[in-house]
Structure 1
């Protein structure tokens, strides 16, 4: 069966090269069920491998040829080999979290081959405390971080006694409703996720197109005035904004959400503001140690979910939209309270700027703001032109309560995202069961001693608590 690849997914495929694999990943930690034997990891692997029917999303691969007129299409892999995709690995002694993160970084460094469906899963044993890890990676042409989290949640249960949960790639995880066939194969939750009604109404399209010039003028004006919007014109050059290699280093750690919430409550800011302030302070200290801190504030690209402004003639229903805000991180400020206040103000201004637009306009302005990050590497202009932003910081919501996979308690989940040429560091957070899990992924050569950022993040939480008086 042949199906077209949408332009966004095709862009992720075509942008990929050896130095810039375009897959997203996740690392989950599980405690064995009570009474589980020493071979539990093997049993877990076999349960995930021995699937009767694979979901359509996981058996298609990209293809183009003369018969497709050179266009990229999805085709079903007629030689699908589950043992290539689901693997069983073990850590070297002493089996610390350090060895686990090192393995995850190496696995995340390799490209997914086009001649097979674009995903892998590794059941990993050998942690000294007996926990079992699951590392998965899926090409961004298939899913983004939010979609990947939804796939994971779909096979977890709040019932520790339940034993019928399938693997994420099992066809039982998704039985399409009428008219919803293969909807899951499209990237959801990314910058292209806007209500489908926007494309169904000719009147709505005309209305939004008519408003596009005004949205563009407002966005450009804010960028020129160095105010927060979808476009940044004042990001400084940093060590993060260089050509990268394909090798990755990964670091991860949890912080209690209650600590972050207390800081936000005491300062009148949001948890996301506090997360950004943690990253701001950590990056500031990290760059200071390397004598590489710019005098002007770093800028982070922050994906945000918005409820678009409704319009009487617009084609949308004012549903959820995903946009990008270029947040000023205040890294030029020494006081953590001042950085948090500046970040809160920047994010508030950015959301207000996007809230005046329809979802289609949000998508267009966000894409325009990110265009330099894509064009500069293609034209080999990194270091010549000013970067549109310095790093990516995103926050993906996860389950709020304890979840299990066939009795195995999930005790941690950490995202691995995508560094790109000119953007060597990506910080993604996932909330789960009262904790905020940070996943830091960076080019192993461009971002030296990446693990130091975890120490600085922890120090910054304490500094923010002291500044907030909590």
Structure 2
């Protein structure tokens, strides 16, 4: 049975082209259980194929025809082939992380076919240290980053001895089905937001004061929930479909200690690490603009609906625009400026309802989303320079059928005008940074990992640690 696709997901589908695959991805690294034999990887792969029931989220694909009035709808795949979606791969020697990142860059640059459900999973062996890698990608029309992380967590266990656990696409016997009211609440959020952005709901009547205040800040180049000033950088140009990926993680305790010493948050420290790394990177290329870079930081709208999003998919996000203070050469001053910008953005959102937040975000992101749809690259100024997300993950060690999850690293979506995406994920005491960029537009992407590490040390020194 066909079901309508909400406006937010429709926008992700229509914005997609060969240069802009619109899927999010994830890399998970596992340690084999004690006593695992040489055939363990094959057994793990076969267990991922052996699924009695596939969750509905992983069975639907977009479809439109005369019968649907040319409107996009979700349609179940009546010829579902799990072996197409779940694949077994191996790295070439010497099996370093470098070879793994090269493979992920190639896989992440390939579009998902609309005639099939919009996801893939690749189980990858050949790392010389014995770890097992799994790369998954799912179209952003199906899930956002928070939903993807919660979906993964829902099939993991804190018990290393637990077995018979389904993969993320399997129906988990203990997963609670959302009620009819909850489904309606979640599905109505994007539609209500679209109406709110157009000013045709009663709730939009509460918009003017918040809108005027926010636009006034934008005109003064004081970013909060809306950015009207962003300098052009090497990231703000057309991109190709090829991707490069790099990732690493750092102890959350190091970030927390800096925040405690400076009166800032862990997220402020994450942003400051990115700011310092971007400053060093652009200075090295002779491409640092005089004015500070602006980052778009997605925020979830309704914590009460988060468990529903994990099972049902969807995209319920707003955004804060943050000045990155890349024009300042002192790490402490950069952190302070970012803290104030983040605080302004949060205060702006706190005065709005979820519908108004989505409406404001739609206004702020319209140039980024509509520009590729309307083919207006180079005409519309970039509303921001890069996207930085922070997605919380499990706080303790987790396992999948005895295999210990050692780390999880996100891959996200560069778009025309925004060639670099930085997404962070916390897991088991570490903060992982996943950097996804256009292979041609963002040279030497892996150097950013070194600069992130350097900036963390600089922030520690500035905080007196």
TM-score of the superposition, structure 1-length normalised? 0.91
Task: Give 2:167's aligned residue.
Answer: 167
- Tell me how far 1:306 sits from its aligned partner: 6.2
Task: Give 2:113's aligned residue.
Answer: 113
SS at match of 1:66: coil
2:29 matched to 1:29?
Answer: yes
- Tell me how far 1:192 sits from its aligned partner: 4.2
Instruction: Name the CA distance, whole Å, in 1 between partners of 2:405 and 2:251.
Output: 16
- Tell me how far 1:232 sits from its aligned partner: 1.1
2:153 matched to 1:153?
Answer: yes
Structure 1 177/328 Cα, relative in aligned 2: closer, same or farther at 3 Å?
closer
Instruction: Name the CA distance, whole Å, in 2 between partners of 1:395 and 1:74.
Output: 29
Instruction: Name the CA distance, whole Å, in 1 between partners of 2:40 and 2:183.
Output: 33
Per-residue CA deviations over 1:399-426 (Å, capped at 9, x if unaligned) read 0000000110000000001001100000
Instruction: Name the CA distance, whole Å, in 2 between partners of 1:410 and 1:133.
Output: 10
Which sections of structure 2, spanning at least 5 residues, go unmatched? 304-315
Structure 1 235/27 Cα, relative in aligned 2: closer, same or farther at 3 Å?
same
Instruction: Name the CA distance, whole Å, in 2 between partners of 1:193 and 1:211.
Output: 18
- Tell me how far 1:109 sits from its aligned partner: 0.4
Task: Give 1:301's aligned residue.
Answer: 296
Instruction: Name the CA distance, whole Å, in 1 between partners of 2:181 and 2:160.
Output: 31
2:338 matched to 1:343?
Answer: yes
Instruction: Name the CA distance, whole Å, in 1 between partners of 2:358 and 2:184.
Output: 20
Task: Give 2:230's aligned residue.
Answer: 235
Task: Give 2:382's aligned residue.
Answer: 387
User: What pairs up with 1:9-24 in 2 under 5 angstroms?
Assistant: 9-24=9-24
Task: Give 1:176's aligned residue.
Answer: 177
- Tell me how far 1:146 sits from its aligned partner: 0.5
Task: Give 1:136's aligned residue.
Answer: 136
Structure 1 193/277 Cα, relative in aligned 2: closer, same or farther at 3 Å?
farther
Task: Give 1:316's aligned residue.
Answer: none
1:376 pairs with 371, 378, 399, which one? 371
- Tell me how far 1:229 sits from its aligned partner: 1.8
Instruction: Name the CA distance, whole Å, in 1 between partners of 2:285 and 2:453.
Output: 19
Which sections of structure 1, spanning at least 5 residues, go unmatched? 309-320
Q: Give aligned pairs, total.
A: 448
Task: Give 1:50's aligned residue.
Answer: 50
2:211 matched to 1:216?
Answer: yes
- Tell me how far 1:379 sits from its aligned partner: 4.1
- Tell me how far 1:307 sits from its aligned partner: 7.4
2:437 pairs with 433, 436, 442, which one? 442
Per-residue CA deviations over 1:311-347 (Å, capped at 9, x if unaligned) read xxxxxxxxxx842111000000001111000000110
Tell me the C-alpha RMSD between the 2 structures: 2.2
SS at match of 1:78: coil
Structure 1 205/384 Cα, relative in aligned 2: closer, same or farther at 3 Å?
closer
Instruction: Name the CA distance, whole Å, in 2 between partners of 1:19 and 1:306.
Output: 30
- Tell me how far 1:348 sits from its aligned partner: 0.5
Instruction: Name the CA distance, whole Å, in 2 between partners of 1:349 and 1:413.
Output: 31
Task: Give 2:308's aligned residue.
Answer: none
Instruction: Name the CA distance, whole Å, in 2 between partners of 1:421 and 1:336.
Output: 30
Question: Any conservation in 2 of the 1:20–1:419 contact (CA below 8 Å)?
Answer: yes
Structure 1 292/187 Cα, relative in aligned 2: closer, same or farther at 3 Å?
farther
Instruction: Name the CA distance, whole Å, in 2 between partners of 1:182 and 1:53.
Output: 21
Structure 1 416/76 Cα, relative in aligned 2: closer, same or farther at 3 Å?
same
SS at match of 1:421: coil
Structure 1 280/388 Cα, relative in aligned 2: closer, same or farther at 3 Å?
same
Structure 1 180/114 Cα, relative in aligned 2: closer, same or farther at 3 Å?
farther
SS at match of 2:180: coil
Question: Any conservation in 2 of the 1:193–1:322 contact (CA below 8 Å)?
Answer: no
2:126 matched to 1:126?
Answer: yes
Structure 1 153/193 Cα, relative in aligned 2: closer, same or farther at 3 Å?
farther
Question: Any conservation in 1 of the 2:7–2:190 contact (CA below 8 Å)?
Answer: no
Per-residue CA deviations over 1:222-260 (Å, capped at 9, x if unaligned) read 111112222112210000000000000000001000011
Per-residue CA deviations over 1:263-301 (Å, capped at 9, x if unaligned) read 111111000000000000001100011100000000000
- Tell me how far 1:304 sits from its aligned partner: 2.6
Structure 1 376/178 Cα, relative in aligned 2: closer, same or farther at 3 Å?
closer
Moved more, 218-227 or 442-451: 218-227
Task: Give 1:5's aligned residue.
Answer: 5
Task: Give 2:357's aligned residue.
Answer: 362
- Tell me how far 1:74 sits from its aligned partner: 1.1
2:446 pairs with 442, 451, 466, which one? 451
Task: Give 1:103's aligned residue.
Answer: 103
Question: Any conservation in 2 of the 1:369–1:388 contact (CA below 8 Å)?
Answer: yes
Question: Any conservation in 1 of the 2:120–2:138 contact (CA below 8 Å)?
Answer: yes
Task: Give 2:70's aligned residue.
Answer: 70
- Tell me how far 1:193 sits from its aligned partner: 10
- Tell me how far 1:176 sits from its aligned partner: 2.0
Instruction: Name the CA distance, whole Å, in 2 between partners of 1:71 and 1:107.
Output: 29
Structure 1 278/176 Cα, relative in aligned 2: closer, same or farther at 3 Å?
same
SS at match of 2:177: coil
2:247 matched to 1:252?
Answer: yes
SS at match of 1:362: helix
- Tell me how far 1:305 sits from its aligned partner: 4.1
Structure 1 193/30 Cα, relative in aligned 2: closer, same or farther at 3 Å?
farther
Task: Give 2:260's aligned residue.
Answer: 265
Question: Any conservation in 1 of the 2:414–2:438 contact (CA below 8 Å)?
Answer: yes
Instruction: Name the CA distance, whole Å, in 1 between partners of 2:147 and 2:156.
Output: 15
